[in-house]
């Protein structure tokens, strides 16, 4: 085997996936996610992948040129509020900013249904309670000038107050510190003087002027608090994993997948950047495939065991950043690649509440798992319904590594769903499937309408996740999407996507100025803008140099964050140079903004009379990596055949009922194979469910295309 050996890892809520790429060969391993210690699941998945390469774990890791790791450990800690006790120092008079929040932050992070139920909606519980928030008398002006000087003796009293109440870290967020960090730096120096690193009780300090130098007090505060809150558990886990890898012989830097759409070394990754890194990695991987196939509009759908994740690829661009992103229940200042998630996966629990069938968002996870796992779970899940309907072979789940108990699945569906509703077991299972498909299809349709302005019928859906191909035709039908792509690596799409990540660092800084007003373009804005761009460029060059890159190989991409005067909607406008030389270039970027605004919101929404403002500048430093090949590969020695591997009864809804359905093994099928539904196309880690009225075709790259329409 020739070529670099690269490893991608994605730790999900139910399964841990590993993809290993070497030259033109790609294999993947899958294991249960071990919540008690995620490293165990990672090692198990790597062992399986090593076995497929006929190597030991030590041999595999010892010869690996890179390893990219994506995990949900930080996200889970945030959801469960498990983290260190933190204190907050802010400007006197702003101690209640976390509690006050923003006018609509009661709705941040809530589902559509929860937003409608306003009587029960609550603002998010602060990660730092009010009694651990203190204010100090100081004040800077909006230009960074000192209006009220900081007093050391007051700061020392407030520090002692927090320490006496058991805080294990201090977050410092002062007014206008993003313009002048002097007061925040002084507070940090005072803390470190009192609690130096040489002592056990040393106090980590987190400054907003370093973590999020942008305007917006509430979002800047929540960003810094979340980063500090996640650091302890995330850092301990990743450092321990890195040490394990060294013991196995891995000698390269461990790269961490980030929500910004790239990866970086452990020393250049902030904890908050890991939020949603798995789904984002899947989006990046889907982008290269969409370019190969020249597909302008793609939905990336990933239905795993716990959630259904959705991303967009428009015109080959994956880094579609959310302007005002939400992490859990808090709005933050992080350049987050837009993706969405709902609690709909194979492990989503079905129940009857007040005579109405509900599915999710609660999940059975991997332990105890669905009832059919026979690990003690008694609640019926989507996977149990799929087993009852005949879509999943209980003897071939994960290639037979996990034997499922169909009788337990049927009992759970019957006792918990069918009997309370007074319907048959088949009908109950079908209703579970139809409901979860409708939920996912509705989410696809909503995102298409709100985020792209395009008709869902113009999109192709990529079906990732172990449960994705099982339900792809169902949720595509519900969203009015008529074409779906499935992949040999689809069940490990997040891990595959990590291998497509470039090394990316994103830098963002607030800078407010008027570029256009009253028919005139601003000459005076050029020098201040250029100063900010050069500052960002120096930071990027320093970090990329420490990542080991030759700076001549780095691509630097600037974006100007523009809006019409006093409006809320901000659009990022690309700018190819590290500054502006004359007013003609200011005019050029303003005209690009006007065109982009008209394309996004309609030409009638353009309002030049309000003027055009810049609110911030963003810089992406990108070091390109070698992407894995899109083509799939059939295992050697497999006999090609167009004949079914067998038949089994499957239920296809009220119109068709139970039908003896042909079952094909995907790795045995020849290129250009075509079949009309109903049919089941099995892989080791998933099954492509082809309903009546749909067709399936396998192309020369081993991509399987489902299409709704007339029978071939």
pLDDT digits (tens, 9 = 90+) for 637-664: 566 888 899 999 999 998 899 999 999 9
**pLDDT at res. 109:** 77
pLDDT at 452: 65
What pLDDT sits at residue 313? 86
Answer for the pair 323, 102: CB distance below 8 angstroms, yes or no: no
Question: Quick check: 609 pLDDT over 80?
Answer: yes
Tell me the two tokens of residue 631.
Answer: 């083509």
* Distance, CA of 146 to CA of 139 (rounded, Å): 6
Q: Tell me, what's the pLDDT at 145?
A: 95
Average pLDDT over residues 541-570: 87
Cβ contacts of residue 637 below 8 Å, gap of 6+? none
Whats the size of the chain, residue-wise?
712
Rounded Cα gap, residues 521 and 134, in angstroms: 44
Which tens digits make up the pLDDT trace of 7-30?
999 987 778 889 998 877 888 888
Residue 498: name the closest of 137, 42, 62 by CA: 42
Between CA 182 and CA 647 the distance in angstroms is 73
Q: How confident is the model at residue 710, as a pLDDT?
A: 54
Kindly report the CA angle at 57 between 54 and 58, in degrees rounded to 5? 110
Q: How far apart (Å, rounded) are the C-alpha atoms in residues 298 and 310?
A: 10
Judge whether 470 and 464 are in contact, CB under 8 Å: no
| Rounded distance between C-alpha atoms, residue 688 and residue 473, angstroms | 9
Is residue 208 pLDDT above 90, yes or no? Answer: yes
Task: Answer whether residue 323 shows pLDDT above 80.
Answer: no
pLDDT digits (tens, 9 = 90+) for 656-690: 999 999 999 998 999 889 999 899 999 988 999 99
Q: What are residue 564's DSSP bridge partners?
A: 612
pLDDT tens sequence across 422-438 = 999 999 999 999 999 99
pLDDT of residue 475: 95
pLDDT-based confidence at residue 634 (cuts at 50, 70, 90): low
Tell me what percent of the chain is helix, strand and coil, each rounded to the nearest 5. Answer: 35, 25, 35
Rounded to whole angstroms, the Cα distance separating 435 from 205 reads 48
Nearest to 383 by CA among 15, 9, 80, 10: 15
Q: Work out the average pLDDT over 224-245.
A: 87
The answer on pLDDT for 1 being more than 50 is no
Q: Which region, left, alpha or beta, applies to residue 308 given φ > 0 means left and ψ of -120 to 50 means alpha?
A: beta
Distance CA 129, CA 71 (A): 28
Distance, CA of 269 to CA of 252 (rounded, Å): 16
Does residue 473 carry a pLDDT above 60? yes
CB atoms inside a 10 Å sphere around CB 283: 30
**Is 586:580 a contact under the CB 8 Å cutoff?**
yes
Q: What's the per-residue H, E or C state across 522-556?
A: CCCCHHHHHHHHHHHHHHHHHHHHHCCCCHHHCEE
Where residue 77 falls among pLDDT bands split at 50, 70, 90?
low
C-alpha to C-alpha distance for 304 and 16, rounded to whole angstroms:
11
Weakest-pLDDT range from 139-148, 366-375, 582-591: 366-375
Q: Which two tokens stand for residue 93?
A: 């008079």
- Three-class secondary structure of residue 452 per DSSP: helix
At 588, is the secondary structure helix, strand, or coil? helix
**Contact assessment for residue 68 and residue 60, using Cβ atoms and an 8 Å cutoff:** no
With left for phi above 0 and alpha for psi between -120 and 50, is residue 176 left, alpha or beta? left
Least confident of 341-345, 371-375, 663-667: 341-345
The whole-number pLDDT of residue 426 equals: 94
3-state secondary structure of 204: coil
pLDDT for the residue numbered 79: 63
Say if residue 654 is exposed, middle or buried (CB neighbours under 10 Å; 0-12, 13-18, 19+): exposed
- Would you state the pLDDT for residue 636? 52
Mean pLDDT of 536-542: 93
Percent of the chain with pLDDT over 70: 94
Q: Max Cα separation, the chain?
A: 83
pLDDT higher than threshold 50 for residue 712:
no
Q: Could you tell me the sign of the dihedral formed by the alpha carbons of 75, 77, 80, 83, in that order? A: negative
Contact status, residue 264 vs residue 258, Cβ threshold 8 Å: yes
- Ranges 213-222, 336-345, 377-386, 616-625, most confident: 377-386
* The pLDDT of residue 126: 87
pLDDT at 177: 95
Q: What is the average pLDDT score of the chain? A: 88
pLDDT of residue 352: 94
Angle (nearest 5°) at CA 35 between 493 and 81: 100
Q: Provide the pairing of β-strand 330-331 with 339-342.
A: unpaired
CA distances from 261 to 145, 299, 539, 622 (A): 37, 16, 19, 10
Of residues 425 and 1, more confidently modeled: 425
Q: Note the pLDDT tens digit of each residue in 44-62.
A: 999 999 998 889 999 999 9
* 3-class secondary structure, 434: helix
Residue 488: half-sphere exposure toward Cβ, Cα within 13 Å: 23
Contact yes or no for 467/303 (Cβ under 8 A): yes
Q: What's the Cα-to-Cα distance from 372 to each of 334, 383, 402, 539, rounded to whole Å?
A: 41, 8, 10, 53
pLDDT-based confidence at 481, cuts 50/70/90?
very high
What structural domains does the chain harbor? Answer: 81-229 (3.40.50), 503-623 (3.30.1490)
pTM of the model: 0.82
Are the C-beta atoms of 295 and 457 separated by less than 8 Å?
A: no
Average pLDDT over residues 28-33: 85
Q: Which of 95-109, 149-163, 345-359 has the lowest mean pLDDT?
A: 95-109
Which letter does DSSP use for residue 260 in this model? T
Q: Which residues of 324-354 are buried (b: 16+ CB within 10 A; e: fewer)?
A: ebbbbbbbbbbbbbbbbbbbbbbbbbbeeee
Q: Within the chain, how many helices (H) and strands (E) appear?
A: 18, 33
Say if residue 618's pLDDT is above 70.
yes
Sort residue 364 into left (φ over 0), alpha (ψ -120 to 50) or beta: alpha
């Amino acid at each position: 085997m020739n070529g670099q050996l690269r490893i991608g890892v994605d730790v999900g809520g139910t399964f841990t996936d590993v993809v290993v790429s070497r030259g033109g060969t790609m294999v993947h391993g899958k294991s249960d996610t071990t919540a008690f210690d995620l490293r165990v699941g990672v090692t198990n998945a790597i062992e399986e992948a090593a076995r497929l390469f006929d190597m030991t774990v030590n041999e595999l890791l010892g010869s690996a040129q890179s390893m990219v790791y994506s995990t949900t450990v930080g996200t889970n800690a945030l959801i469960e509020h498990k983290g260190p006790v933190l204190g907050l120092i802010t400007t006197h008079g702003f101690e209640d900013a976390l509690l006050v929040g923003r006018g609509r932050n009661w709705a941040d992070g809530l589902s559509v249904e929860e937003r409608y139920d306003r009587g029960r909606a609550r603002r998010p519980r602060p990660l730092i309670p009010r009694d651990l928030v203190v204010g100090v008398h100081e004040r800077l002006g909006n230009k960074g000038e000192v209006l009220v000087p900081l007093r050391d003796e007051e700061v020392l009293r407030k520090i002692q107050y927090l320490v006496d109440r058991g805080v294990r870290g201090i977050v410092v967020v002062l007014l206008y510190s993003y313009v002048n960090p002097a007061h925040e730096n002084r507070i940090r120096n005072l803390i470190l003087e009192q609690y130096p690193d040489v002592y056990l009780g040393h106090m980590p300090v987190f400054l907003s002027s370093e973590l999020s130098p942008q305007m917006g007090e509430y979002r800047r505060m929540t960003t810094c608090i979340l980063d500090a809150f996640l650091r302890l558990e995330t850092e301990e886990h990743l450092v321990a994993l890195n040490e394990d890898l060294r013991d196995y012989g891995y000698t390269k830097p461990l790269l961490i997948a980030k929500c910004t759409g790239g990866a970086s070394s452990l020393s250049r990754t902030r904890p908050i950047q890991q939020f949603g890194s798995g789904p984002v990695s899947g989006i990046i991987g889907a982008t290269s495939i969409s370019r190969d196939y020249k597909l302008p509009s793609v939905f990336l759908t990933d239905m795993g065991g716990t959630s259904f994740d959705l991303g967009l690829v428009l015109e080959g661009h994956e880094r579609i950043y959310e302007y005002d992103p939400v992490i859990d229940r808090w709005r933050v200042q992080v350049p987050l690649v837009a993706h969405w998630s709902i609690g709909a996966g194979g492990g989503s629990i079905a129940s009857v509440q007040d005579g109405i069938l509900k599915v999710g968002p609660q999940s059975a996870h991997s332990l105890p798992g669905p009832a059919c796992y026979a690990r003690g779970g008694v609640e019926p899940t989507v996977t149990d319904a799929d087993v009852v309907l005949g879509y999943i072979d209980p003897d071939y789940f994960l290639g037979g590594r996990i034997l499922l108990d169909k009788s337990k699945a049927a009992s759970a569906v019957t006792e918990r769903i069918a009997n309370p509703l007074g319907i048959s077991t088949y009908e109950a299972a079908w209703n579970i499937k139809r409901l979860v498909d409708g939920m996912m299809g509705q989410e696809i349709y909503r995102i298409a309408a709100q985020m792209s302005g395009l008709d869902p019928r113009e999109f192709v859906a990529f079906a990732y996740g172990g449960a994705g191909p099982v339900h792809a035709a169902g949720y595509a039908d519900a969203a009015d999407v008529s074409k779906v792509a499935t992949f040999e690596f689809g069940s490990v799409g997040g891990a595959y996507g990590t291998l497509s990540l470039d090394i990316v660092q994103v830098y963002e800084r607030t800078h407010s100025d008027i570029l256009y007003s009253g028919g005139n373009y601003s000459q005076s804005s050029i020098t201040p803008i250029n100063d900010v761009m050069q500052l960002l460029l120096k930071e990027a060059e320093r970090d990329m140099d420490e990542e080991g890159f030759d700076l001549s190989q780095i691509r630097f991409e600037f974006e100007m964050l523009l809006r019409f005067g006093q409006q809320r909607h901000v659009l990022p406008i690309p700018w190819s140079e590290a500054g502006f030389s004359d007013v003609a270039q200011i005019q050029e970027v303003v005209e690009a903004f006007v065109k982009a605004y008209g394309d996004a919101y309609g030409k009638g929404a353009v309002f030049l009379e309000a003027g055009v403002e810049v609110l911030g500048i963003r810089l992406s430093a990108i070091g390109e990596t070698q992407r894995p090949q899109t083509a799939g590969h059939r295992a050697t020695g497999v006999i090609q055949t167009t004949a079914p591997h067998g038949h089994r009864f499957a239920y296809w809804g009220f119109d068709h009922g139970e039908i003896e359905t042909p079952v094909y093994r995907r790795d045995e099928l020849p290129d250009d194979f075509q079949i009309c539904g109903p049919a089941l196309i099995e892989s080791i880690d998933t099954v492509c469910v082809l309903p009546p009225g749909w067709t399936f075709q396998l192309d020369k790259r081993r991509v399987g295309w489902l299409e709704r329409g007339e029978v071939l």
